[in-house]
Every structure is written in structure tokens, then in C-alpha cells.
Structure 1
Amino acid sequence: MAELKTRATEIQVADFIAAVPDATRRADAGAVCTMMARLTGEPPKMWGPSIIGFGRYAYRYDSGRTGEMCRIGFSPRKAELVLYVLDGNADQGEVLGRLGRHRTGKGCLYIKRLADVDADVLEEIVRAKIARMDAAYPA
């Protein structure tokens, strides 16, 4: 079985954020990091080379494959911020409609700039994901 690439590392989060080339993306990453740390009560940790995660949980697929991942996280990619906060719940459509300019993918929320979205709605989305993770994977 292949080894998982996305696992907790010893890379310093502050160094990773400081190295983000785009000044706006760097500032946005710092703001998202601060918000997620405050909401989770967990310190940020690098997962793989580019994901900043908070907390951890163990999962097991029906196939028997197991692993560990951050409970919530994000990545300041070149084109946009990627927040790992979606899971396809029907109730997410309404809140996403209030968020502002964004796009979605399977489990991911893509934002070009934090200035494009409503900060309170983004926090609502993050809080909801934390609650769903707490319900599915109690600490």
C-alpha cells in the first residue's frame, strides 16, 4: 500500500506563510490561520508540504484502509486559498449563497481574496465544519 503524502510534518507554519510570494495571499493566509486556530482551539500544524491544519482525527474506510488527517485546514495556493471545509451537506448551499465570490469543489472552498467574501459567513462555514467533525470523530 502506498504511503500517505499528507501527514503532519515539522515545517514551521509561520515560515511557510512568510514564504507565500503574493502579499495579499500571504496576508489572507495569516488571517485564515488566526481564525481557524481561534475557532478550533488548536495550534496550526503543517500537513504535507502545503496544507495548514488544525487538530487531527483517525479515519477508516470500508476497505479497511486507515489514516490520519487534520480535522480542518486550508492551503494558500498560487491562484487562490483552498479551505477544506465542505462536505456536500444540503444546508451548505444556503450559507454559500451568502458568502460572496467563491467556487467549490469536492470538499473544498476556493477563494481568490478574503476581501471577496463575508468574513462572518466564512466563520459560520468553518464553525459548522468543526461541529460536523466533532460529531463524526469525537476527540
Structure 2
Amino acid sequence: MAQNKTVETENSATDFLNTLGDEIKKNDSLQLLNLFEEVTGFRAKMWGPAIVGFGTYHYKYDSGREGDAPIVAFSPRKQAISLYLSTEFKDKEFLLSQLGKHTKAKSCIYIKKISDINTDILRKMIANSIAEESKSC
């Protein structure tokens, strides 16, 4: 069976974020790191080369594939910052409608900059994602 590509590493999340060339993205990402740590109570860990994750859970698919992943995470990508939250959590659609400027896919939310969003709403979304994951453990 293939190995998971995105695994937890010992690399420093802060060091990674400080290497970002775009000053706005770097500052936004450092703010997000602090916000996620505050809300989750977990220390930031690097997952692969570019995902900053918080907490961990173990998953196992019907196919037999299993592994570990962060409960919530973000990644500063070239076009946007990707926010990885639970695919289902309490009040998801309502909170998304209140978040501010973003786009979304099935399992992630994309923001251009932190000033585009309501960080109090993001805090609720992170907290609800953590609560959802703790129900499934």
C-alpha cells in the first residue's frame, strides 16, 4: 500500500512561515498560527512541506488505507491561503455566510488575506471543527 505523502514532521511552523516572500501572506499566516493555537489548544506542527496543522486524528478507510492527519490546518499557497477544517461541523453554512470574502471546495476554504474575513467567525468554525472531530473519536 502506498505511503501517505503528507505526514507530520519535526520542522518548525514558525520558521516555515518566516520564509514566505510575500510579507502580507507571511504576516497573515503568523496571525493564523496564533489564532489556531489559541482556539485549538494545540501547538502548530508541520505536515509535509507546507501545511501547518493543529491536533491529530487517525483515519481508516474501507479500502484499508489508514493514517494520521491534522484535525484543522492551513497552508499559505501561491494564489490563496487554504484553510482545512472538518467537512461537516455545527452551523457550517451559516458561519460560511458570515465569514467574509472566500471561496470553498469540499474540504477547504480559500482566503486571499486575513483582513477579508471575520476572524471571530473563523474562531467559531475552528472550534466547531474540533468539537466535530472529538465526537467521532
Report if TM-score (shorter chain) is over 0.5: yes
Give distance in 2, aligned partners of 1:110 and 1:63. Answer: 30
In the superposition, relative to structure 1, how do residues 111 and 41 fare at CA in structure 2: closer, same or farther (>3 Å)? same
In the alignment, structure 1 segments of 5+ residues that lack a partner are: none
Task: Name the aligned partner's letter for residue 35 of structure 2.
Answer: M
Q: Deviations over 1:2-26 (max 9, x none)?
A: 1111001121111100011111110
Contact 1:88-1:106 within 8 A present in 2 as well: no
Matching residue of 1:35: 35
Query: What is the root-mean-square deviation of aligned Cα atoms in Å?
Result: 1.3
Task: Name the aligned partner's letter for residue 25 of structure 1.
Answer: K
Task: Name the aligned partner's letter for residue 47 of structure 1.
Answer: W
Contact 1:86-1:109 within 8 A present in 2 as well: no
Structure 1 SS opposite 2:82: strand
TM-score by length of 1: 0.93
Matching residue of 2:84: 84
Give distance in 2, aligned partners of 1:90 and 1:135. Answer: 12
Matching residue of 2:135: 135
Structure 2 SS opposite 1:9: coil
Moved over 3 A (4+): 88-91
Q: In the TM superposition, what is the alpha-carbon distance from 1:88 to its structure 2 partner?
A: 4.5
Contact 2:72-2:86 within 8 A present in 1 as well: no
Q: Where do residues 1-139 of structure 1 align in structure 2 (5 Å cutoff)? A: 1-88=1-88, 91-137=91-137
Q: In the TM superposition, what is the alpha-carbon distance from 1:90 to its structure 2 partner?
A: 8.2
TM-score by length of 2: 0.94
In the superposition, relative to structure 1, how do residues 127 and 70 fare at CA in structure 2: closer, same or farther (>3 Å)? same
Q: How many correspondences in the alignment? A: 137
Task: Name the aligned partner's letter for residue 129 of structure 1.
Answer: S
